[in-house]
Amino acid sequence: MGTEGDNVRVIAGRYRLEARIGRGGMGVVWRAADQLLGRQVAVKELCLDESLSADEGRTQRERSLREARAVAQLRHPHIIVVHDVVEDDERPYIVMELIVGGSLADRIATAGPVDAAEAARIGVDLLGALRHAHDAGVLHRDLKPANVLMEAATGRVVLTDFGIAQVAGATTLTENGAFVGSPEYTAPERMSGARTGPESDLWSLGALLCTALSGESPFRRDSLGGILHAVVVDEVRPPAQAEPLLPVVRGLLERDPDRRLGAVEAEGMLRAFRETGRTPHVGTGYTPTRRDVPTRGRVPAPSVPPAPPAGTGPSAPETPAAGPPRRHSARSMLVAAALVAAMAGAGLSAAALLMRDSGDGGDPPARSAPRGAARTTPSSAAPSTSGPALPTPTVTVTRSSGASPASRAVPEGYRLARDPGGFTLAVPEGFTREPQGERVFYLSPGSAFRLGIKIAAPRSGGPLAVMRRSAAGGPSTNPGYRDGRVTATTRGTDPAALWEFSWDGFTRTEGARHTYDLCWEQDGRMYDVWVSAPVGRVAEAKRYFDVAVDSFEPS
């Protein structure tokens, strides 16, 4: 039992709590004296849910102690040292080294943003800490400036507060249906409830670097719903101050976790910047793997997407006149509001609804994007929605003549859209433009047909590898995924790949759908054009697809 007197409390018969030095969502931090070894320490008193039953409270304590002991096994110069884990009066405590100095958040608040060299130093130290933790099967899950300590005497960067960390193979204290972490620094795949892995911590690091450089998270908004919308849907816009480290920041803030920049490569790029003053671009040796729990092997790094083309924005295309009012913002914010209810304990994964309703519409959710044009021959019949895989499609790719897009004949029933995203293509009359994050969609009335476009940097392995990786993730991104087939082809002399598949749609009302997706590489860029439609209307969808890819040109 703890003893108390003269405002001093001793726990576990050893640690005298002297002054409260911090407080967070997971507990109170005290400066304390270790009376056995005669040293100053920090003691974190973990908060417990008082509404739980005795059995539930006991289970919560056991889980928190088990996780704390796992973190205590970590030994790294940039991870807080955990000296002891104790229980006193049925309450768990974590005894840690005492760092004299404030957090990175304190430093930013008092002295302003740091320069690129200091941000690179902080990033290198944190990446080393994260790699060590991930190799041990521990995720942090709440990486933010407030959880990074800066030792005053040495400038040492110390990652702390693994209070909501997840140990591989364990059900954690916080995994009870409630949202945990800081939304401005939480990866989109965690928002959706789809997965949490080492890549999620790396996204958080990307947001942290932006904050360190500019003084504010790029996802800060006036409301929780706004933050969720910014993380999951809006175009990611690093601050101007991030320009020297932009390849690293953009790589870490890649929404597709399988293409996110890995810790090893990010650390190498930041070290190169510290040595040369220049940040190299990502190499081409990356082969992504899918992980739902942390692995003990080091994580390779994907390619870094470049800054979006000049002029990219949400404004309507130049031609024709604007269609019906956009529904995206209101709809997305309503779904985000539902997520707030989930975070209050409703258990609803509303962020998943936000991602699907405002993003992919049943199309490949996060892939390398496109610029260029190609054509495929229509299938002779609608694909089946079950049974064996589709036969390998025959693909013929044509290249339009040298005439400019504006001078080419547009098929009857179509219009030529000059998109502010940096491309031109023919879309059916009545389709309206709806930018959704890193993609641009043209939707039919009622959204039965969804034509999507994305532009990105080349990826390792080229279009065929990109499509195969996307197909491998098809079951996790497209409910009821089936009959998938990836075929290598070319567009003129440019490499390309066609991915075709069926799936169940996002809702029962929507019903089964079929998707055609062509990805190709041209002039140092990668382009992706896809069309999804109800399975009973694939012939019409194939015509839309052929016209779109044939007429597509970068502007």
CATH, residue 150: 1.10.510.10
Tokens of 49: 């849910």
Tell me the residue length of the chain.
555
Tokens of 85: 């884990």
Are 76 and 132 found together in one domain? Answer: no
Q: What is the pLDDT of residue 7?
A: 56
Task: Answer whether 467's CB lies under 8 Å from 521's CB.
Answer: no
Residue with tokens 């081409």: 284
Which range, of 8-22, 382-396, 494-508, averages the lowest pLDDT? 382-396
Q: Residues with Cβ < 8 Å from 213, sequence gap 6 or more?
A: 113, 114, 115, 116, 119, 239, 241, 242, 245
User: Greater confidence, 522 or 358?
Assistant: 522
Q: What is the pLDDT of residue 112?
A: 94
Q: What is the pLDDT of residue 50?
A: 66
Cα–Cα distance, 497 to 472 (Å, whole number): 14
pLDDT greater than 90 at residue 303: no
Are 86 and 115 found together in one domain? Answer: no
Are 63 and 116 found together in one domain? Answer: no
DSSP state of 549: H
Cα–Cα distance, 491 to 376 (Å, whole number): 10
For residues 80-97, average pLDDT = 86
Q: Is residue 310 part of a domain?
A: no
Alpha-carbon distance values, 317 to 66, 234, 324 (Å): 56, 18, 13
pLDDT greater than 80 at residue 132: yes
- Domains of the chain: total: 3
Which range, of 23-37, 98-112, 231-245, 253-267, averages the lowest pLDDT? 23-37
Q: Give the residue among 297, 294, 298, 243 at the shortest CA–CA distance from 273.
A: 243
pLDDT greater than 60 at residue 289: no
Which range, of 2-6, 92-96, 118-122, averages the lowest pLDDT? 2-6
Q: What is the pLDDT of residue 24?
A: 61
pLDDT greater than 70 at residue 325: no
Q: Is residue 135 part of a domain?
A: yes
Q: Residues with Cβ < 8 Å from 99, sequence gap 6 or more?
A: 42, 80, 149, 151, 158, 160
Listed residues 219, 249, 276: the one ending a domain: 276
Q: What is the pLDDT of residue 194?
A: 67
Q: Which of 158-167, 340-349, 424-433 has the highest mean pLDDT?
A: 424-433
For residues 136-141, average pLDDT = 86
Residue with tokens 């779904």: 335
Buried-state track 174-185, b at ≥16 Cβ within 10 A, e below 16: beeeebbbbbbb
Question: Could you list the residue range(s) of the whole structural domain that residue 506 is in?
Answer: 362-554
Q: What is the pLDDT of residue 422?
A: 87
Are 89 and 117 found together in one domain? Answer: no
Task: Answer whether 481's CB lies under 8 Å from 475's CB.
Answer: yes
Listed residues 223, 253, 276: the one ending a domain: 276
Q: What is the pLDDT of residue 72?
A: 80
Q: How many helices (H) and strands (E) does the chain have?
A: 13, 21
Cα–Cα distance, 19 to 7 (Å, whole number): 9
Listed residues 66, 97, 128: the one ending a domain: 97
Computed over every residue of the chain, the mean pLDDT equals 74
Q: With pLDDT > 90 as the criterion, what percentage of the chain qualifies? A: 38
Q: What is the pLDDT of residue 252?
A: 95
SS3 105: helix
For residues 513-522, average pLDDT = 93
- Residues forming beta bridges with residue 496, ordered by sequence position: 489, 520
Q: What is the pLDDT of residue 73?
A: 82
Q: What is the pLDDT of residue 285?
A: 34
Q: What is the pLDDT of residue 250?
A: 92
Are 234 and 135 found together in one domain? Answer: yes
- Residues forming beta bridges with residue 87, ordered by sequence position: 92
Q: What is the pLDDT of residue 332?
A: 42
Q: What is the pLDDT of residue 434?
A: 86
For residues 512-519, average pLDDT = 93
Q: What is the pLDDT of residue 291?
A: 31
pLDDT greater than 80 at residue 208: yes
Are 474 and 495 found together in one domain? Answer: yes
User: Greater confidence, 78 or 171?
Assistant: 78
The alpha carbon torsion through 127, 129, 130, 133 (nearest 10 deg) reads 160
Alpha-carbon distance values, 452 to 269, 433, 435, 546 (Å): 33, 10, 9, 13
For residues 134-151, average pLDDT = 90
Q: What is the pLDDT of residue 164?
A: 53
Which range, of 175-189, 302-316, 477-491, averages the lowest pLDDT? 302-316
pLDDT greater than 50 at residue 549: yes
Residue with tokens 């849907």: 233
pLDDT greater than 60 at residue 391: no
Which range, of 131-135, 156-160, 408-412, 544-548, averages the lowest pLDDT? 408-412
Buried-state track 315-331, b at ≥16 Cβ within 10 A, e below 16: ebbeeeeebeebebeee
pLDDT greater than 60 at residue 258: yes
pLDDT greater than 80 at residue 44: yes
Are 220 and 147 found together in one domain? Answer: yes
Are 387 and 423 found together in one domain? Answer: yes
Are 17 and 153 found together in one domain? Answer: no
Measured in whole angstroms, the distance separating CA 476 from the mean position of its chain's CA atoms is 15
User: Greater confidence, 2 or 510?
Assistant: 510
Q: Which of 52-61, 315-324, 461-470 has the highest mean pLDDT?
A: 461-470
pLDDT greater than 70 at residue 543: yes
Are 495 and 369 found together in one domain? Answer: yes
Cα–Cα distance, 153 to 130 (Å, whole number): 23
Give just the sign of the alpha carbon dihedral 291, 292, 296, 302.
positive
Residue with tokens 């739902």: 292
With vertex at residue 254, the alpha carbon angle to CA 251 and CA 257, rounded to the nearest 5 degrees, is: 110
